[in-house]
Amino acid sequence: MSRALVHLLGVLWLCCWLASTGESQIEYLRYKDPKQPVPTRVRDLMSRMTLEEKIGQMVQIDRSVANANVMKTSFIGSVLSGGGSEPLPRATAEDWVNMINDFQKGALESRLGIPMIYGIDAVHGHNNVYNATIFPHNVGLGCTRQGFVISDWQGIDRLTSPPSSNYTYSVQASIEAGVDMVMVPFEYGKFIQDLTLLVKSNIIPMERIDDAVERILLVKFTMGLFENPLADTSLVNELGSQEHRDLAREAVRKSLVLLKNGKNESASLLPLPKKVPKILVAGSHADNLGYQCGGWTIKWQGFSGNSDTRGTTILNAIKSAVDTSTEVVFRDNPDNEFVKSNNFEYAIVVVGEPPYAETAGDSTTLTMMESGPNVINNVCGTVKCVVVIISGRPIVIEPYISSIDALVAAWLPGTEGQGMTDVLFGDYGFTGKLARTWFKSVDQLPMNVGDPHYDPLFPFGFGLTTESVKDLVARSTSAAVGARACIFTIIVTLIISLYLPG
């Protein structure tokens, strides 16, 4: 063989080798091809997955135990922020994006590069995030039409009493019942170990695992997560933006329920005049953003005060709503002498419950937070008062109702206090209705519409309405015009009738 031929063969061999290696490096992976239909991509990916990788998809862990390496080596399918689980105190939107992208990069470095889903444990707005808008609205969490079933925080632990006394049982019972992803959220090693054993010993059939993983992957593919796994920072300025705050403010004014307006129908107190010499704002909840937002805000059980997030307290909303000549005096707990010795035109009393979530908020008395009853007693009766109740549920109000001129159930209005003043001062009318029955006393409870003993203070669906000042003016103007037209018609009719042959 000539040296030239040997050389040529050598080159050919090298070319073939390079081509084959190159091919395996860019091996066509059907599940990564966005042009393939989603079911095909799911099937292809499933066929490549080991049991360990499949079980990993069924695990959701809290961010406090997550890092890029855990994501990669345990094949974790999802991470969440439980209530108050933030990357650092007062984290910015960039801090959040960077943290989530770091976990995601770990997931993408796993053998098959399956992206994770990030979850936020939230009940109103992006409630873990400093500077986010908090508003009275429940967000639908992760429920696409092709959703999967996820358990709640340590939920499967509670299938036994005491909780987690037989974790293997908890894992078996929940997965067999159809839970696809488990919000573990801390001891994921134990969960993975137990589920693996249950499958290997044929207690949980492989079909159930495949069914769960298929549903999870279907959501990930449908969301476009394989094509766009990383969050970008281009939207960080949307957080707490004016547009969001305006929407939240609208939600506040539409959710407020007016329960009483004046001692009788001819003496309505609302809407309040903006231009008067002096008004009193009183109560524990008038200048407290934390109370206004309730539980599940920044911290699991919420907070007290004005520094843990940004927004407008009801007091500040009042100050900016009234005429510049109106003096606004604030006392959280004024005594009766103080109220008597000032010439207040009217008082706005804001009282209610402290923030709470779940177990910590359980109550058998449903009373308002202390000094609330005192403030109502010291203010109402001496000066015309509107009482605003900040609470997550109906609370005891019946003993005070006769001394109160106007009463508003504000629920937990969140960060946008101006939604309150929009309706108090008549820029908008009240429209909200009770979504719950308001009881007279706790010994009536439970009491719901249709119950034989139904005897509420305010029935389900109740809510007085007011007109905005603008509409009132328009109506009285058109009424005046109408009255003038009517008088004119009568006069013309009289004149004509005088001249008619009789």
Which residues participate in catalysis according to the annotation? 152, 358
Question: Nearest distance from residue 400's CB to ligand NAG, in Å?
Answer: 17
**246, exposed or middle or buried, with CB in 10 Å at 0-12, 13-18, 19+?**
middle
477 binds ligand NAG (CB under 6 A): no
Q: What length does the chain have? A: 502
Q: How far apart are CA 250 and CA 272, in angstroms?
A: 19
25 binds ligand NAG (CB under 6 A): no
**Residue 88 DSSP class:** S
Q: On the CB side of 377, how many CA atoms lie within 13 Å of its CA?
A: 7
What's the distance, Cα to Cα, between the start and end of the chain in Å? Answer: 140
**Residue 401 DSSP class:** G
Is residue 175 within 8 A of residue 212, CB to CB? The reply is: yes
Token pair listed for 204 = 């949980």
Whether the CA torsion 219, 223, 226, 231 is positive or negative: it is: negative
Question: Nearest distance from residue 269's CB to ligand NAG, in Å?
Answer: 10
Token pair listed for 427 = 């820029």
Q: How far apart are CA 137 and CA 435, in angstroms?
A: 13
Other C-beta atoms within 10 Å of 333: how many?
Answer: 14
- Going from the C-alpha of 194 to that of each of 69, 166, 191, 452, the distances in angstroms are 22, 11, 5, 49
CB of 114 or CB of 464, closer to ligand NAG: 464
Question: Nearest distance from residue 406's CB to ligand NAG, in Å?
Answer: 12
Q: How far apart are CA 418 and CA 426, in angstroms?
A: 12
Other C-beta atoms within 10 Å of 454: how many?
Answer: 13
Ranges within 130-159 binding ligand NAG (CB under 6 A): 131
CB of 158 or CB of 254, closer to ligand NAG: 158
Question: Nearest distance from residue 237's CB to ligand NAG, in Å?
Answer: 5
Report residue 463 CA to chain centroid gap: 23
Question: Nearest distance from residue 162's CB to ligand NAG, in Å?
Answer: 12
**352, exposed or middle or buried, with CB in 10 Å at 0-12, 13-18, 19+?**
buried
Q: Which amino acid makes up residue 101?
A: N
202 binds ligand NAG (CB under 6 A): no
**Given candidates 24, 237, 325, 359, which one binds ligand NAG under the rule CB under 6 A?**
237
Q: Closest-CB residue for ligand NAG?
A: 169
Size of interface with ligand NAG, in residues (CB under 6 A): 15
CB of 166 or CB of 363, closer to ligand NAG: 166
239 binds ligand NAG (CB under 6 A): yes
Question: Nearest distance from residue 311's CB to ligand NAG, in Å?
Answer: 10
Please report where in the chains the tokens 């009275």 appear, as a residue.
136
Q: How far apart are CA 276 and CA 180, in angstroms?
A: 61
**Given candidates 166, 441, 448, 477, which one binds ligand NAG under the rule CB under 6 A?**
166
**Given candidates 74, 172, 174, 301, which one binds ligand NAG under the rule CB under 6 A?**
172
Helices H / strands E in the chain, number of each: 15, 10
**Given candidates 67, 241, 476, 478, which one binds ligand NAG under the rule CB under 6 A?**
241
Question: Nearest distance from residue 235's CB to ligand NAG, in Å?
Answer: 10
* Of 399, 402, 418, residue with least CA distance to 410: 418
Question: Nearest distance from residue 169's CB to ligand NAG, in Å?
Answer: 3
Question: Nearest distance from residue 172's CB to ligand NAG, in Å?
Answer: 4
CB of 239 or CB of 442, closer to ligand NAG: 239
Is residue 145 within 8 A of residue 38, CB to CB? The reply is: no
Token pair listed for 72 = 């990669």
169 binds ligand NAG (CB under 6 A): yes
Token pair listed for 196 = 């693996």
Question: Nearest distance from residue 388's CB to ligand NAG, in Å?
Answer: 20
Ranges within 87-106 binding ligand NAG (CB under 6 A): 92
Answer whether the bond into residue 446 is a cis peptide, omega within 30°. Answer: yes
- Going from the C-alpha of 318 to that of each of 109, 285, 420, the distances in angstroms are 53, 13, 9
324 binds ligand NAG (CB under 6 A): no
- Going from the C-alpha of 40 to that of each of 32, 346, 435, the distances in angstroms are 11, 68, 45
**Contact code string over 254-293 relative to ligand NAG, x by CB under 6 A:** ---------xx-xx--------------------------
Q: How far apart are CA 354 and CA 253, in angstroms?
A: 21
168 binds ligand NAG (CB under 6 A): yes
**Residues in contact with ligand NAG by the rule CB under 6 A:** 92, 131, 166, 168-169, 172, 237, 239-241, 263-264, 266-267, 310
